[in-house]
Structures are given as structure tokens and as C-alpha cells.
């Protein structure tokens, strides 16, 4: 049972059962029940079974204007509400009346090789540094790395068996020889038995919130001004492969994307893509530039003498 599922009403307990029947991931069950419980609290004295589209609309406005949450959280709440009112409680009104917000499309933050090296060097604790190396070397999601077990490491075939991918999809990714060397050194020091990166006890994975906090500290120490998260290392992995000439279909499979369209965003951040694009400024004849006749202007390097 995930942490939030411990405090539930009869309605949300039934919702949990409905999601288990459909083999939803534990994290999804936890997230959906969290949002349903928050909506139930928002309704105050009104039973959630009597909720109408206007109540949901007011709740979404409450999330935007009062709680000021991001649209990813708002859409996640919308998914939970849609499931609850279409499966757990069948309502006469159509679930399309629960809208989704338009997400802001941002290009991924990517670290260069030097920045990646500085980030790892600035992470002094061995467990954290090895965790970041695993994310960076294999392009894993944070949850996938946190749930890695010793049995998922195939050193004979040099593969990592990712069994907790998004949507409960399993995939294989190459195991870097350097990462294997680092993992063996890490194992000699920490002696994990079940999970590669155990949490407070050996039978529980490492807390993802701890990793998110540590990487921020390491980025500051490394002097990296970008907004670095564990997912940044996954973006950096994908962009690095693309710049190295790996085809986008292979990258999509290595990342575990359900659609190659998701992977195509990395086409917009690869350096080679920009290096081939000329600037119209470079086509102008030098003598037409106003500063060319300035005696203090160095014509060779374009700067004042």
C-alpha cells in the first residue's frame, strides 16, 4: 500500500479496487486517490457522490487561483476525477465536461559533458553520485532507478532490465562498462541486498524526494545555473545519443516512449542542428557595416583595438 492510500473513505477505497483490477501502477493509484480526497475536502459537507460538473469547475479554479498549482497537477487531478466519475461512480453527465488544461510546451533542459562531469564531481556522497551516474548512463526515469534491484543488472549481457517503466512496460537498456565498474565499487561499500539503492530499510526503494533535493545542492556546488532535476540527466542522455548519431527510433525505444513523437523533442535541442544553421548577418559584405571604417575597430576579430 502506498503512503496516501492509508487514509481513505469507503468511496476512494472502492476506487482503489477499481484501479487495481485494471492493473494501474501504484504511483498512479496514489496520485488519483490523493486528488479525489482533496476534492472531497473541498466539497466540505456535500457528499462526493452528489458532485456536479459545476463543483468540479469550481475546484479546478480553486487549484489555479488559490493553491496556484501547475497545469500538470491540474491535469492529473482531472484524470483522477474522470476515472472516479466514469468507473467508480457512473454519472449521467459526460466526463468530457471535466476539462484538461493546455500544457505549456517547454524544451528540455540539457547538460553538456562538462556540466555533467562537474555535477558528479560536486556530489561527494557515494550513493548519491552512483545514483546520478545510473540516471545519466542509462537515461532512466527517477522512479525506474529508485526501483532497480540487484537482479535487474545483467553483467554477462551488459544490460539493465527496467521492470518498473512508465505504464508498467518492461525494457532493456545497455549497461555501460564504466557504470558497471562504479556499481561494483558502490556495492562493496554499501552492500545492498535487494534494491540497488535501498531506502531506510533494505526492502524499500530510496525516497525520490531525497534525490530531488540532493541534485539541486550538487548543481549549485557545480556552479550550474540551469534548473537541474533528475529528469535533466535523462534529457542529457537522449540528446547525447542523438548528437552521437544514434537514430531517433532506437533512442525512443531505449527511453521507453510509447510514441516516437515524444522523442522528437530532442531534435530541437541537439547542437549539430543549430551549428548547421547560418545567420544572415554572416552574409553581409563587411564594408557595408557602419563600424568597418572606424580606425579603432579590429577588422580581423570584430572587436575594438
Question: Is 234 noted as a catalytic residue in this protein?
Answer: yes
Average pLDDT value over all residues in the chain: 86
| Number of domains comprising the chain | 2
Q: Which three cell numbers stand for residue 190?
A: 554499501
Q: CA nearest 243: which of 111, 154, 117, 129? A: 111
Q: Residue for cell digits 562531469?
A: 117
Domain end point (choices 49, 67, 97): 97
In whole angstroms, give the CA distance from residue 139 to residue 83: 31
Residues 60 and 146 in one domain: no
Q: How confident is the model at residue 166 (pLDDT cuts 50, 70, 90)?
A: confident
Q: How confident is the model at residue 45 (pLDDT cuts 50, 70, 90)?
A: confident
Task: Give the domain range for residue 248.
Answer: 113-272
Instruction: Give the least confident one: 35-39, 79-83, 163-167.
Output: 163-167
Q: How confident is the model at residue 181 (pLDDT cuts 50, 70, 90)?
A: very high
Residues 122 and 267 in one domain: yes
Q: Which of 82, 149, 231, 270 is catalytic?
A: 231
Structure confidence at residue 1 (pLDDT): 47
Burial of 159 (0-12, 13-18, 19+ CB in 10 A): middle
Residues 55 and 126 in one domain: no
Residues 130 and 229 in one domain: yes
297 close to 291: Cβ distance less than 8 angstroms:
yes
Task: Tell me, rounded to whole angstroms, the distance of Cα 56 from its chain centroid.
Answer: 28
Q: Which of 38, 91, 163, 257 is catalytic?
A: 257
Q: Would the pLDDT of 23 be above 70?
A: yes
Instruction: Give the least confident one: 30-34, 173-177, 195-199, 265-269.
Output: 265-269
Residues 91 and 146 in one domain: no
Give mean pLDDT, residues 17-21. Answer: 93
CATH no. for residue 11? 1.10.150.130
Give mean pLDDT, residues 264-290. Answer: 68
pLDDT, tens digit (0-9, with 9 covering 90-100), for 78-120 = 999 999 999 999 888 888 888 887 766 778 899 999 999 999 9
Q: Which of 32, 34, 136, 266 is catalytic?
A: 266
Structure confidence at residue 88 (pLDDT): 93
φ/ψ of 293, rounded to 5, equals: -85, -5
Q: How far apart are the first and last CA of the chain?
A: 70
Question: Is 276 noted as a catalytic residue in this protein?
Answer: no
Question: Is 157 noted as a catalytic residue in this protein?
Answer: no
Q: Which of 141, 186, 206, 235 is catalytic?
A: 141
The torsion of the CA quartet 10, 14, 20, 25, rounded to 10 degrees, works out to: -60
- Please give the biggest Cα pair distance in the chain: 84
Structure confidence at residue 2 (pLDDT): 52
Q: CA nearest 101: which of 74, 82, 79? A: 74
pLDDT, tens digit (0-9, with 9 covering 90-100), for 124-136 = 999 999 999 999 9
pLDDT, tens digit (0-9, with 9 covering 90-100), for 219-240 = 999 999 999 999 999 999 999 9
Q: Which of 166, 171, 190, 270 is catalytic?
A: 166
Helix (H, G, I), strand (E, B) or coil at 161: strand
* Rg of the chain (C-alpha set): 25
Residues 123 and 263 in one domain: yes
Structure confidence at residue 179 (pLDDT): 95
Amino acid at each position: 500500500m502506498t503512503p496516501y492510500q492509508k487514509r481513505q473513505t469507503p468511496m476512494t477505497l472502492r476506487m482503489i479496487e477499481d484501479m487495481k483490477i485494471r492493473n494501474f501502477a501504484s504511483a498512479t493509484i496514489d496520485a488519483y486517490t490523493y486528488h479525489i480526497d482533496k476534492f472531497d475536502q473541498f466539497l466540505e459537507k456535500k457528499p462526493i457522490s452528489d458532485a456536479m460538473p459545476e463543483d468540479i469547475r469550481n475546484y479546478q479554479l480553486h487549484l489555479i487561483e488559490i493553491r496556484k498549482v501547475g497545469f500538470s497537477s491540474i491535469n492529473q487531478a482531472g484524470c483522477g476525477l474522470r476515472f472516479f466519475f466514469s468507473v467508480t461512480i457512473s454519472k449521467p453527465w459526460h466526463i468530457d465536461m471535466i476539462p484538461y488544461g493546455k500544457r505549456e510546451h517547454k524544451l528540455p533542459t540539457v547538460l553538456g559533458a562538462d556540466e555533467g562531469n562537474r555535477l558528479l564531481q560536486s556530489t561527494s556522497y557515494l550513493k548519491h553520485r552512483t545514483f546520478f551516474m545510473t540516471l545519466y548512463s542509462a537515461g532512466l526515469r527517477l522512479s525506474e532507478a529508485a526501483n532497480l534491484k540487484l537482479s535487474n543488472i545483467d553483467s554477462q549481457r551488459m544490460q539493465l532490465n527496467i521492470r518498473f517503466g512508465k505504464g508498467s512496460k518492461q525494457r532493456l537498456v545497455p549497461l555501460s562498462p564504466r557504470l558497471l565498474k562504479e556499481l561494483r565499487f558502490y556495492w562493496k561499500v554499501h552492500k545492498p541486498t535487494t534494491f540497488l539503492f535501498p531506502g531506510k530499510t533494505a526492502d524499500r526503494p530510496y525516497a525520490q524526494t531525497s534525490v530531488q533535493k540532493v541534485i539541486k545542492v550538487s548543481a549549485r556546488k557545480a556552479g550550474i545555473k540551469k534548473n537541474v532535476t533528475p529528469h535533466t540527466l535523462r534529457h542529457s542522455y537522449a540528446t547525447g545519443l542523438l548528437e552521437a548519431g544514434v537514430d531517433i527510433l532506437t533512442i525512443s525505444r531505449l527511453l521507453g516512449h510509447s510514441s516516437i513523437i515524444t522523442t522528437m523533442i530532442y531534435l530541437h535541442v541537439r547542437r549539430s542542428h543549430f551549428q548547421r544553421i547560418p545567420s544572415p548577418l554572416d552574409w553581409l559584405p563587411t564594408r557595408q557595416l557602419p563600424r568597418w571604417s572606424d580606425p579603432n575597430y579590429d577588422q580581423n576579430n570584430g572587436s575594438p583595438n
